[in-house]
Each structure stands twice: as structure tokens, then as C-alpha cells.
Amino acid sequence: MSKTVTGVRKNRKTSFSDTLKKWWGQRYLQLMVLPGILWMLVFNYLPMGGIIIAFKKFKITKSISEAPWVGFRYFKEFFQDSNFKDVMVNTLGISLLKLCIGFALPIIFALLLNELRGMRFKKVTQTISYLPHFLSWVVLGGIMTTWLSKEGVINDFLMMVHILKEPVSFLGEPKYFWGVALISDIWKELGWSAIIYLAAITGVDQQIYEAATVDGAGKLQKIFYVTLPSITGTIAIMLILQVSGLLNSNFDQILILKNQVNVARSQVIDTYVYQVGMTLGKYSYATAVGLFKSVIALMLLLIANKTCKKLLGRSLY
């Protein structure tokens, strides 16, 4: 018995020493991770202490500890706010459009790119599709505002092909905003979002394709019976993350494209929090709205993860 215990202790010591040696051998890589960890601590975890002001009547002239407790007062105010319905409808409407349409397009684009055999043409296509991602929404917003104006190229093209009889101000009419938000987001992120699917497709064993070819499978059959099943795990994880972010409507994009004319269809939770918090100085109210959004996002994450695990057998954890 004592020999057995001694042997286990030796194995544990050996395992610990091996771990230390492995860590020391990767010390430079570990040091490269430290800035990322510090960034997360400073910008993601330390600010979480400020969530407490959602339950207090906080004023910027006083400390948080001096602010009186008000419980769920600001949450009730948000639910009873006249803007609550419009904000939620706009947020969910834009996000669901991006989920239903914008989520599938990068997968299709990655599958099409994978079928290209001309390497030069493939690289040029990839480069062109990636470029908009590296431009900020400030730049793209200015481009979109110019293109979508009555004198812009979009109106000129639509009138040339006789789709429109007279020019339309797409950012000046609320009914067009959701479509503008969807199309501009796809234009900016399509190529970049396809990268992870291309990486997953590259990792598929080529022997499976060779076996499918021997069995007489065509291009479409290989895509549906080999490629897609092989990248199901990647698709499931990306879907879970996309569903958990349903209440995120890309703050930068909406803030740039939003104006006083289309505000009825462009005001989302993120811009509403910015407006009441930074512009009106209602810090406790804005924090309460932000906390509400975070709680819903956590619930959506758990539901999406459980659903994918049950239906596809793939999940985050």
C-alpha cells in the first residue's frame, strides 16, 4: 500500500515538474499572452464593479458608495419607457435579419471560394472581399451616405435599370434603414467572416474527398455529404455566438448611419444606452439597460448552446 502511494506521489511530482519545464520552454509565448490578459482585466472585468450603480441613484459629483439604493427602479423605468417597444423591435429586427441572412452567406462564400481552382483569381477574390473589413465604419459610413443620397451612384444605377422612376433618399426614409444596415454589414464583413470557415474546410481530410470521387459523387454531393458535415462543429459554435449577440446591433454601424429622420427605425439598445448615458447623463439608467441586455445575452447563450448540443451534438462546453 505504501509503495503504491509513493509511486502515485512520484508520478504527481514528475507530472508537475514536466508541466513547469513545458511552461518554461514556452515562456516567451506565455509572455505574449500577458498583454491580452491585462487588457481583459482592465476593460472587461474591473469595470464590472460599476454594475452596482444600476441599483443606485448615482451622480457623477459623488462616489458610488454615497449613492442611495433604489433597487430595480431604473429597470422598471426602462420597461415603461415610451421608447422601449421601438428600441426592442429595431434591435431584434436588424439582428434577426443579420442572423437569418448574414450568417449563411459567409458559409456559402467560403464553399464557393474552396471550389475555385485558379489560385491567382482565388487570391484576388479573397483580397477584394477582405478589404472593407479593414476600413472603419466612420469611413464606410461616409461612403454609404454619399452612395445612398439622391445624387448617389445607387440611385443612378437603379434608375438606369428602370427599377426606380425617381431618386430616393435611402437614409432619409425610415422604412429603408433595416435593409441598408443588413446590406452594408454583409458588404463589410462577408469576406472576413468566411476566413474561419475556409480554415475549417482546409482541415478536412482529403482522403474523404478521394473516396467520394471513387464512389461517383459530384461537386454538390461532396459539399453536402462531406464538406458541410465536416465543418458542422465550427458552424455550431459560430451560430451559438451569433445567437447570444442578438441584442447587439453593431453600435459603430448604427451610430454612423442613424440620423434624426430615420431614428424611428434605427434606434437600438446600444445607441439608446449611449444617448441616455453620455448625452443625457443618466448613468444609472443607462447601466440598468446595459445590464438587462447582458442578462438576456447570457440566457440566449445558454439556450443556444443546449439546443446545438441536443440537435447537432456540438457545443461550446
CA distance 27 to 137: 38
pLDDT in tens, 144-183: 999 998 888 999 999 999 888 899 989 989 999 999 999 9
* pLDDT greater than 80 at residue 236: yes
- Mapping DSSP onto H, E and C, the string for 287-311 reads HHHHHHHHHHHHHHHHHHHHHHHHH
CA distance 250 to 269: 10
Give the per-residue pLDDT at 315: 80
Q: Does domain 63-311 have CATH number 1.10.3720.10?
A: yes
- Burial, 147: exposed, middle or buried (Cβ in 10 Å; 0-12, 13-18, 19+)? middle
pLDDT in tens, 102-152: 999 999 999 999 888 888 888 899 889 989 999 999 999 999 999 998 888
With a CB cutoff of 8 Å and minimum separation 6, the contacts of 208 are 226, 230
SS3 state of residue 171: coil
The H or E element that residue 229 is part of is: helix 228-230
Give the per-residue pLDDT at 314: 80
Residue type, 201: I
CB 178 within 8 A of CB 102: no
Mean pLDDT of 82-89: 92
Of residues 10 and 241, the one with the higher pLDDT is 241
Q: Where in the chain are the domains?
A: 1-47, 63-311
pLDDT in tens, 9-68: 444 445 778 888 888 888 888 889 899 999 999 988 888 888 999 999 998 888 888 889
Mean pLDDT of 231-239: 91
CB 258 within 8 A of CB 86: no
Give the per-residue pLDDT at 8: 42
Task: Give this prediction's pTM.
Answer: 0.83
